[in-house]
């Protein structure tokens, strides 16, 4: 693919993702929803999730132009940017590296990717 002047929106599952619910789609060349974030808005283009993401929480009926992105797609992209040792193992990083590799945007906007988790204990791994 060639370099573009496009902007990609990546939606995470943190509570702040709701700030992107009503952003005009026209602001973005693509919208990538991580894990449960596909529920925030129905005009996303790509749903990306890890292999252990529960299938009953994944989108079932894709609209024309929507695609699911799995490990076969994102692992090579992540590895091209140094693999999980250097690039990180979170889906926010994984989605970002896949977007850089596959869509080659000039800008990426991350919303709801601030790793806010409810509950107790250490939320990091």
CA distance 88 to 66: 26
> Model-level pTM?
0.88
pLDDT in tens, 74-99: 999 988 888 777 766 789 999 999 99
123 pLDDT band (50/70/90 cuts)?
Answer: low
Q: What is the mean pLDDT of residues 31-50?
A: 97
CA distance 101 to 32: 14
DSSP 8-state secondary structure symbol assigned to residue 65? T
Predicted confidence (pLDDT) at residue 3 exceeds the cutoff of 70: no
Alpha-helical (H) ranges within 19-88 are: 71-80, 83-87
**Length of the chain, please?**
125
């Amino acid at each position: 693919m060639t370099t573009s002047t496009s902007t990609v929106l990546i939606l995470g599952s943190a509570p702040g993702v709701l700030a992107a619910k009503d952003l005009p789609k026209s602001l973005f060349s693509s919208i990538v929803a991580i894990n449960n974030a596909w529920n925030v808005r129905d005009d996303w283009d790509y749903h990306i999730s890890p292999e252990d993401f529960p299938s009953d929480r994944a989108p079932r009926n894709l609209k024309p132009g929507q695609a699911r992105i799995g490990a076969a797609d994102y692992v090579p992209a992540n590895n091209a940017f140094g693999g999980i040792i250097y690039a990180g193992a979170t889906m926010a990083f994984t989605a970002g590296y896949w977007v850089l590799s596959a869509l080659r945007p000039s800008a990426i906007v991350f919303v709801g990717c601030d790793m806010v988790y409810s509950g107790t204990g250490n939320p990091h791994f």
